[in-house]
C-alpha cells in the first residue's frame, strides 16, 4: 500500500482509475486516523480538567486544525507520521501525573480501537460479495493499516511522541523535560525526522504491524467463521 513517488506514478500510468480510488481512500483514512487521534488527546484532557484544547478549537473534525504537512506526507508515503500536537496545560489537571499519563495514552488508545474495529469489519466483509463490498474491504485495509502504524509509531519514546510522554511520566514523574535542554530537544527532533524520512523505521514498524494484524485478523476469523 505504501509506495514512493515513482511507485505512485507507475500505478497512475498502469491503473489510473484504481489508483485514484485508492488515493481517495488513503486520504479519507489518513484524515480520520490523525484527527481522531488528536481529538482523543484533547477530549481526555478536557475530562481531566484542562480546557486548553477545546478553547483553541482542537476538538473538531476540521483537518486544518490538526494536520502537520510533513507528518501527513510521511504517513501517506511511509506509513508513519504525525499531526500537530494538542496543546495542554498540565497545571489544570486534577491529578497531574495520572492525568498526563491518561492524556498521553488517549491518542494511542483511539488508534488501537479504530484498528480493532476496522479489522473486525474487514474480516466480516468476507461474508459478502460484490463491487461495493470489495471497495469497502479495500478502505478498511487502509484504515486498519494506518491505525496500527500510528499506534506503534506513537509508542516510540522520542519527543514529542506519546511514548516519550508516557516514559517521562511513568518513570521520571515529568522531570525528563527539565533534564533535556531546548537545544537537545531540537537535535533529537531533527535526527528522528531524518530517520523517519529515510524510511529506516518504516520496515521495523511494518514488521510489528503485520504481526499484530495477522494475529488479530486470525482471531476474528476464528470467531466469525
Task: Catalogue the active-site residues.
Answer: 38
Q: In whole angstroms, what is the distance from residue 143 CA to residue 119 CA?
A: 9
Q: In whole angstroms, what is the distance from residue 220 CA to residue 119 CA?
A: 8
Residue 23: closest CA among 139, 146, 147: 139
Residue 80: closest CA among 224, 159, 197, 207: 197
103 touches 110 (CB < 8 A): no
Residue given cell 531533527 in the structure block: 190
Torsion sign over Cα 154, 158, 159, 163 = positive
Amino acid at each position: 500500500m505504501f509506495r514512493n513517488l515513482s511507485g505512485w506514478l507507475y500505478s497512475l500510468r498502469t491503473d489510473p482509475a484504481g489508483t485514484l480510488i485508492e488515493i481517495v481512500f488513503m486520504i479519507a483514512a489518513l484524515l480520520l486516523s490523525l484527527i481522531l487521534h488528536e481529538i482523543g488527546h484533547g477530549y481526555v484532557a478536557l475530562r481531566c480538567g484542562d480546557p486548553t484544547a477545546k478553547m483553541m478549537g482542537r476538538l473538531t473534525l476540521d483537518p486544518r486544525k490538526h494536520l502537520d504537512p510533513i507528518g501527513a506526507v510521511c504517513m501517506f508515503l511511509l506509513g508513519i507520521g504525525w499531526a500537530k500536537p494538542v496543546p495542554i496545560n498540565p497545571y489544570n489537571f486534577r491529578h497531574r501525573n495520572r492525568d498526563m499519563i491518561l492524556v498521553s495514552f488517549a491518542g494511542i488508545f483511539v488508534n488501537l480501537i479504530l484498528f480493532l474495529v476496522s479489522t473486525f469489519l474487514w474480516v466480516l466483509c468476507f461474508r459478502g460479495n460484490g463491487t461495493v463490498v470489495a471497495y469497502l474491504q479495500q478502505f478498511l485495509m487502509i484504515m486498519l493499516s494506518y491505525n496500527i502504524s500510528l499506534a506503534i509509531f506513537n509508542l516510540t519514546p522520542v519527543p514529542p511522541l506519546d511514548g516519550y510522554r508516557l516514559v517521562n511520566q511513568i518513570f521520571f514523574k515529568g522531570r525528563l523535560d527539565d533534564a533535556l535542554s531546548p537545544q537537545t530537544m531540537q537535535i533529537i527532533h531533527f535526527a528522528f525526522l531524518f530517520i523517519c524520512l529515510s524510511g529506516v523505521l518504516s520496515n521495523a514498524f511494518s514488521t510489528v504491524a503485520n504481526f499484530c494484524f495477522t494475529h488479530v485478523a486470525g482471531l476474528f476469523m476464528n470467531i466469525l467463521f
